[in-house]
A and B are shown apart, each in its own frame.
Chain A
Amino acid sequence: MILVVMDHDGNELRKGALEGVSRARKLAEALGGEVAGLVVGPGAEGVAEKAKDYVSKVYVVSGPDWEAYTAEKWAKAAHAAAEAAGARVVVAPASRTGRSWTARLAVKMDAALLEDTLDSWAEGDKVYATKYSFLNRVLEKQAGTLPAVISVKPNTTPLAEPAGAGAVEPLAVELGELEKKVEVLEKIAETGGKVALTEAEVVVTGGRGMGSAEAFQMIEQFADLLGGAVGATRAVIDAGWRPYAEQVGQTGKTVQPNVYFALAVSGAVQHQAGMNKSKVVVAVNKDPDAPIFKETDYGVVGDVHQVLPAMIEEVKKLKGA
């Protein structure tokens, strides 16, 4: 049996959940058994009615104890579901939170942890995966023993299609001492884009050359127009123009969108580590020697304050057509 932990926003399954189902089905074909799902947290009962179309059985962990996410709780719920399902492999999204609680789960299960994988498969009594390492500059193939915990890098895997209705099974999981040690005091909402940065198919990143926090209104407008997310470089974060949550790069988030716009971004190695696997890279920079142009498919040498407004108008025309 393979268990897939299915991320959701309280109403709908996230894309990562359906990527996870695809991976889990592939592993189940090789290792035998079926695919079970787990949904945790606020809204889980409702989401389970959608999740059951993808798996043979979906476990639901919800209630007053499960309102706020902590890595300790999510690892506990996943462990309980893995035991209930008799799962030898657990598949989860390699979101930031996912990578935190899967590390805990792997210790609980004494499992091999295959982290942020691009692909995964099983042969004999081993699981295999490919992933990036060395700041996204090396592609490596790994083998892990069973049991295993595999996290799935966003935007790497086809989304699963529904495969008939499975059963829904509530799972009672009691919090222990450990799970009570972290108390969430306050949530700080992300400002800017409406789309999660790591899941976005379009990312529009502004660099120091934008010149001011106000200039990012243009970035936001462009991102909104394309249904994309706003990103920022370390220099922009240091200047206090944008929140840390939007940082793309070695010390920020790694994104792999269909198209990545680097606007007034010089393109330091630390920044490239966060975006160099984007499918298409577009850059606008007034310095023709900026390192970003070596990482670029389509670039404009010019002043972003003149080029970007014109790009916005062109996209509006395109959308209107």
Chain B
Amino acid sequence: MKYVAIIRQVPDGESKIKVDGGRVNLEGATLILDQMDEYAVEQIIRLKEAHGGEAVVVAFGPERTEEAMRTALAMGADRGVLITAEGYVDPVTQAGALAKVLTEEAPDVVFTGGQQADWDSQALGAAVAEALGWPSVTWTTAFELEDGHAKATHDLDEGAEVVRVALPAIFTTQQGLNEPRYPTLPGIMKAKKKEIKKIDAAELGVSGSKVEILEQQIMELERKQKIIDGTKEPAAAAAEIIKLLHEEAKVL
């Protein structure tokens, strides 16, 4: 069997982001393997450990994505394929290029992050699946292989459900799916020698993007920060806060 994780490199949620001239500037930001994609990498390594086969990481992104890909290889993935494109490319266009690579790789199971920590997009997994004519399952919290099918539990808007899916198929991750391992030092050393094949997105027919980002600005709401000390008289503090919510904020 062959398993693929589609990964991305994103700024760490803990690091400050800045905007210059209406554009997010990632200079100085810590860039990491997207935490939602870590679950995907962990899952394909576990599948390989349990059932044998090959675990491959695939990405669509700028050259620097190689760093995140090395992290995935250090965790235990076997090799990588990186489709390179600088700047923003929408998920539908990306899906077309990724589908070409996946058609060639012919995996049985594909995992990718449930939401991207930079574009806040949830579309990529389902879009790639559609481009391939494969089924997809989003927000997967449990997964097992079962006679040529997969049985997966995934979250809906309300509650969850268990589905049986014909393979090949694409699954997007949710917290709870697994606990991603940290790369070990020997893993990091080995990862340096693992193969990363780079393909220019243009060679896969990508020319531009259907969606263009025009302007970005930091958006943090001003908060009133009216803080009441309720350590001595909790009941009085509770009465005061409910009064403020009712009379001042008018939300109760």
Contact = CB atoms under 8 A, between A and B. Distances in A.
A136 interface: yes
A185 to B, nearest CB: 5
A142 B212 contact: yes
Interface string B79-117: 000000000001110010000000000000000001101
A100 B234 contact: no
A56 B129 CA distance: 33
A157 to B, nearest CB: 18
B19 A138 contact: yes
A145 B212 CA distance: 9
Nearest to A147: B210
B19 A107 contact: no
Nearest to A183: B164
Contacts of A114: 211
Interface residues of A, number: 100
Interface string A131-145: 111111111111111
Contacts of A197: 158
Contact of B133 (A135, A178, A259, A270): A178
Contacts of B230: 284, 300-303, 306-307
Given A134-B117, A298-B244, A69 B92 contact: no
Contacts of B234: 300, 302-303, 306-307, 310
B185 interface: no
B210 A145 contact: yes
Interface centre among A142, A145, A294 (most CB of B within 10 A): A142
Interface class of chain A by DSSP: mixed
Contacts of A139: 216-219
Given A115-B121, A131-B120, A135-B13, A103 B166 contact: no
A61 to B, nearest CB: 18
B162 interface: yes
A298 B234 CA distance: 15
Interface centre among B14, B165, B225, B243 (most CB of A within 10 A): B225
Contacts of A92: none
A21 to B, nearest CB: 19
Interface string A89-111: 00000011101111110111011
B36 interface: yes
Contacts of A104: 126-127, 129-130, 136
Contact of B225 (A102, A112, A296, A313): A296
A99 B11 CA distance: 23
Given A143-B211, A318-B252, A115 B160 contact: no
Given A187-B161, A259-B245, A279 B251 contact: yes
Interface stretch (A22-30, A44-52, A204-212, A242-250): A242-250
Interface residues of B, number: 89
A43 to B, nearest CB: 16
Interface stretch (B47-55, B149-157, B188-196): B149-157
A243 B213 CA distance: 36
B246 to A, nearest CB: 6
B95 to A, nearest CB: 6
Interface string A108-126: 1011111110000000000
Interface stretch (B56-64, B66-74, B137-145): B137-145
Interface of A: 69-72, 75, 95-97, 99-104, 106-108, 110-116, 128, 131-145, 177-178, 181-190, 196-198, 202, 226, 234, 237, 243-245, 247, 250-252, 258-259, 269-270, 273, 276-277, 279-282, 284, 286, 288, 293-303, 306-308, 310-311, 313-315, 318
Q: Top 10 closest A-B pairs, CB basis?
A: A302-B230, A310-B238, A103-B123, A139-B219, A306-B234, A251-B175, A103-B126, A190-B159, A112-B210, A314-B242
25 contacts: A100-B138, A104-B129, A107-B127, A116-B122, A134-B11, A138-B19, A141-B214, A142-B212, A144-B212, A182-B164, A183-B165, A188-B153, A188-B159, A188-B161, A244-B141, A269-B13, A298-B244, A300-B237, A302-B229, A302-B234, A306-B230, A306-B234, A307-B234, A310-B239, A314-B242
